Amino acid sequence: MSELNYRFRDPALAQLALTHRSVGKPNNERLEFLGDALLGAIVAEMLYEVHPKASEGELSRLRAQLVNGQALAVMARELALGDGLKLGPGELKSGGFRRDSILADAFEATVAAVYLDGGFEACRETVRGLFVERIAALRRSSKDAKTRLQEWLQAKGLALPQYELIASHGEDHAKTFDVSCSVTEPLAFTAEARGGNRRAAEQDAAEAVLNRLLEQQRGA
């Protein structure tokens, strides 16, 4: 696994990470479970550092873009994990080494194998090295919903959206906020959303309005 930039002290762990359940036991299912948790925590830490003003919802959406099955399968292919997969006869015959779900599972299992072989810091360093450029690219390309809605309206010479705090609920330490986002052109539409802070609620309301406008545009 030279592409991984990690040298295993116990090669058997690396081999186990690439052993699909179709082979029988032992296989990589337990490693996959552990790797999923490790990936989620390390990528969450990176996003928390890179996006200091992002809401919980925004951070969750960004993490989902980075660690979903398709994205992990892409990374597995870049690391050539498919070349080392051990599959049962059925999966081998049906081309399982190309399947996204199998590749994504192998990637997660490999992360766990690094953790068990070298400890958390080695695992953290390896994962951060794999994701740093992806997170930087995501940061350059991602704009929040309010910005995207404003830019869409401005590009068409339309009036900007209006946000209004409708109500707040709960004790001071656990308030939720109801917010509306309204546009008057090209159709009058208002969306409401609730969030743990006003900014998060505004973002979700803006997302709903933008989706409605884009749906109308596609149907026009």
pLDDT > 60? residue 140: no
Instruction: For Cα atoms 124, 129, 135, give the angle at the middle one, nearest 5 degrees.
Output: 105
CA atoms within 13 A on the CB side of 50: 22
pLDDT of residue 1: 56
CB 110 within 8 A of CB 1: yes
Q: For residues 109 and 17, give the distance between their C-alpha atoms in angstroms, rounded to a whole number.
A: 5
Round the average pLDDT of the chain to a whole number and report it.
Answer: 89
pLDDT of residue 70: 86
Give the confidence band of 110 by pLDDT, cuts at 50, 70, 90.
very high
Could you tell me the sign of the dihedral formed by the alpha carbons of 98, 99, 102, 108, in that order? Answer: positive
For range 110-130, the mean pLDDT: 96
The active-site residue, picked from 36, 91, 144, 207, is 36
Q: Is 36 a catalytic residue?
A: yes
| More reliable by pLDDT, 101 or 137 | 101
Q: Is 172 a catalytic residue?
A: no
pLDDT > 90? residue 151: no
Q: For residues 164 and 185, give the distance between their C-alpha atoms in angstroms, rounded to a whole number.
A: 17
* Residue ranges at the known binding site for Mg(2+): 32, 105, 108
pLDDT > 90? residue 99: no
Spell out the residues 6+ positions from residue 167 whose beta carbon is closer than 8 angstroms to its own: 177, 178
Indicate the pTM of the whole model: 0.64
* Residue ranges at the known binding site: 32, 105, 108
Using one digit for the tens of pLDDT, what is the confidence trace for 1-41?
557 889 999 999 999 999 999 999 999 999 999 999 999 99
The active-site residue, picked from 58, 108, 202, 207, is 108
Set out the domains of the chain in order of their start, with CATH numbers: 2-141 (1.10.1520.10), 145-219 (3.30.160.20)
